[in-house]
Amino acid sequence: MKYHFIINPVAGKQDSSKVLVPEIKRAAAACGIAETDLTIQLTNRPAHAHFLALEAVSAAAEQDEEIRIYAAGGDGTFNEVLTGAMNYKKAAVGLLPYGSGNDFLRSFGTREEFCDIEDQLRGGVKEIDMIKTQRGYAADICSAGLDAKVAYGIPKFRRIPFCGGGMAYKLSIVEVLLGKRATRLHINIDGNEFERSAILVAVCNGRYYGGGFLAAPESQLDDGVLDVMVVNEISLAKIAKVLPIYQAGKHFANGEIVPELENIVEYYPAKSVHIRPVDENQEVIVNVDGECGPDKELSAEIVPLSARLILPKKVYDKQM
């Protein structure tokens, strides 16, 4: 078996490669992995992790070898590697959380558990569903609306001197809340069509996104179902009350929206979802696993058990 590490040195607050490279080599030696079976590469441009993963699985396919690829960075790096490797059935992908968000792993365990490289190398493989969208594949959560607007607005505030990630996030929230918050949307869920004036629609395969928002607290990554949360238009005062509840995942329990929010949040299990503004001249900001941008629609379809995920041994043992 081959072991391949792809490190994004600009993920997070500092270059993790200086610590990771020697630690990976040490952990590999402790696990009895030969140097010839170990590869470590650093990314140097956007989408480079996807390209490196494609190269790695192509080489493994030529030799009909199993390969484990570990993405060291944030959720964006992980998505690039996972989508690059998912079409080779003898490839599995792990996540070393050295980015600023790392929401995906929260569906399984803690950052500390996933940072244990020896445990990662000894880990087990779990098949997971993926979401196919018009903007590519996603493993975690796609959305349209207020949450995507906030994420999309953060980079411009980071360009302000002395405005770090936390402050940029807060300023983006303020800008979005003071602007037009809701959009009249046409929503199609498994052929069931309706319209809503919605603040956001989250299409969930995983549970967490947006830096720790627990959008779908009971979502399973291997059940062949998307959990769709629609948050309807409400006043600014109500947003201040509802947002912390939504962030903590307390809007949903035992397969249903909690009674006190049933007129605000709607839940739909789905195989496919299509969302577009009723006004054909309007766009929405769309989020696909943290990558955000304006679009005419969000189209999402579950692709059951289409990717292979490496879980650290302790995490894997708890799952089984």
Cα 3 from Cα 266, distance rounded (Å): 43
- Which pLDDT band holds residue 194 (cuts at 50, 70, 90)? very high
The CATH code of domain 141-305 reads 2.60.200.40
pLDDT digits (tens, 9 = 90+) for 149-170: 988 887 788 778 867 666 777 7
pLDDT tens-digit map of 59-96: 999 999 999 999 999 999 999 999 999 999 999 999 99
Mean pLDDT of the chain: 93
254-304 pLDDT, tens digit per residue, is 999 999 999 999 999 999 999 999 999 999 999 999 899 999 999 999 999
pLDDT tens column, 196-244: 999 999 999 999 998 789 999 999 999 999 999 999 999 999 998 998 9
> Which are the contacts of 233, defined by CB distance < 8 A and separation ≥ 6?
181, 182, 197, 198, 199
Least trusted range by pLDDT, from 3-17, 117-131, 146-160, 266-280: 146-160
Distance CA 92, CA 70 (A): 8
The confidence score (pLDDT) of residue 320 equals 74
2-102: CATH architecture? 3-Layer(aba) Sandwich (3.40)
User: Which residue type sits at 219?
Assistant: S
Q: What are the boundaries of each domain within the chain?
A: 2-102, 141-305
Query: How large a percentage of the chain has pLDDT more than 70?
Result: 99
pLDDT recorded at residue 184: 97
- Rounded Cα distance between 281 and 233, Å, is 21
